[in-house]
Structure 1
Amino acid sequence: MKLFFSPDQLAHNPQKEISDGALVDAVEVPMRAEMVFDALTKLPQIDHVPMRDLGRAPIERVHDHDYVSFLEQLGELWADAGREGEAFPFVWPGRDFRTDKVPHHLDGKLGFYSFDAGTPLTGKTYGAAYASAQSALNGAQALVQGEQAAFALCRPPGHHAGKNYYGGYCFFNNAAVAAQYLRDQGAARVSIFDVDYHHGNGTQAIFYDRADVQFLSVHADPLEEYPYFLGHADECGVGEGEGHTHNYPLPLGTEAKAFKAAIEKGLAEIDRFDPDYLIISLGVDFFEGDPISQFKLTHADMPGIGALLKGAGRPTLLVMEGGYAVDDLGRNVAALIDGFLRS
């Protein structure tokens, strides 16, 4: 399995985030990727290969140009405003506010292009997020070139990012960028299966009205868990996309048996959709030791999850998403991928 990762993805290095009303140490940190990289490259089946820069255009096939430019310019805007440290928004357009005009003021821009206060931005964020998207694009290109499986070690993650907003530690939606690239390369249908403790709200929103990209997600019940406002079972798509979104919300405290049963339901829907390619948005924050999650899967469950996902029987790109138990993250991902490759 080819592994795609660039050291440029480590440049986004926030020190603080806002959580539970306090400024605390950031949890989406470069060490996450370093631990996963070190563990994966110890597997004999993994081949870390150089990446090509496939450009900004594939990213803007998914994300609005003005939003991409805002992320690119944020460091300069922040410095020009005489501010230091991480950038956080504090005001957002409410239900009756206008959203047809982007504010000129930096604080207005931050609110316009975000949906939470817990995702720190720095002057290095754009470069790292750009490189993360390139990892996903290179993985997708590998599938087009005939590989049956590839791993994009995307960090920062992506599945909470929408067309023109960031949040949940996500800036560019790596899985969505890869799916659109596969479509642009001639794939008739692509499935994205989001297997992460949190719902992939950004990915769902991007493809909600489309029939060519199927979205499925196994995650914690949004009535109880972030991102709260998407991910219910009755969200099935609209217009041409009706019937192509499938959500499997699970209660807090879910263990491996129920988690695997939900994955099996998703795999049955993927089989019915019959995609040319499968993208797995893989977060291992369903691990019992994760500091911001409340599922109860263990390290011993990881190989079985990997083997189950391999059962889709499609050319598959695995795109890294969440997982914040840093000391256990590498070994958990490696165990899951080893199970995937051995099945």
Structure 2
Amino acid sequence: MLEEIIYGFGLALIISLLTGPLLIPVLYKMKFGQYIRDDGPKRHLQKAGTPTMGGVLFLTGAVTGTLVFAPKTGPVFLVLGATLAYGLIGFIDDYIKVVLRRSLGLRAREKLLGQLGVAITVSVVAVFFLGRGTELVIPFSGYRFDIGPVLYIIFTSLIVIPGTVNAVNITDGLDGLAAGSVAISTLAFILAAIMLELQGVAVFGAALVGGCLGFLRYNIHPARVFMGDTGSLALGGALASMAVVTGTELFIPFIGFLYFAEILSVIIQVISFKTTGKRVFLMSPLHHHYELKGWQEQKVVRVFWLAALIGAALGLLGMHNIG
């Protein structure tokens, strides 16, 4: 198993690194430039025009590394399919924003329906076709309880998967932040897959890490390319689907602590402003709050990567008896 994991990682890394110099000039030529909100941190305005949709870089590497080295099993195709499906939703959103010049992209209802459709599909396939079952494991205790197929599908497709996907999407706001933190979080799911002897899922996770690290070569500050919703929705879909097939849905608040802190900051900000007219944070999501407090972008990213690492470590500590 270890050889395939290493080879999948290496191939994805190489493909992502080699694809960058080929794809980035094409994105520039096609004027797939990022739109920057004028109500955000002023230093971000200089990023306007940086090409987006760069998630294609790491997706190409991750998919290739998986297909070449992972066993062709149901769980592998499920995580691949979920990742690409959410990536497609993100690609359509990006295309509408940067090519059709409709700044908000897909309408909220359209995006929600697309995400919900993929989430339900993933949940149903996992339960009824892959034999995943409907047990949930309580972190750190190892206690299991069966909630039945109806409640499991509702819980997973309405909360776990969309919550994870959108939390990662919101985290993608600084150079290198989402790619680096997801690479860290994915390590926990790789180890979970190894413990459960899900070799193909472990290879997929390794290939995703390799792709993200290759992408960071071009996305670290100052970024030459952004992943766009093409990348961030795909990354969220990858994490959520790996949690489903490894039965670690309840570990996501630990492994994905950073992403849920980010999305929680948005929720708190909106509720506070609408009910009291006051803002809790200088700006949400959370990474912008620290920028406006005077932190340099690179410092915010490093600290948030550390938070992702701590979350992944906590998640792993709670997995000692998931098998």
Q: Same fold (TM over 0.5)?
A: no
Q: Which has the higher relative contact order, 1 or 2, with Cα contacts under 8 A spaced 6 or more apart?
A: 2
TM-score w.r.t. the length of structure 2 is 0.29
TM-score w.r.t. the length of structure 1 is 0.28
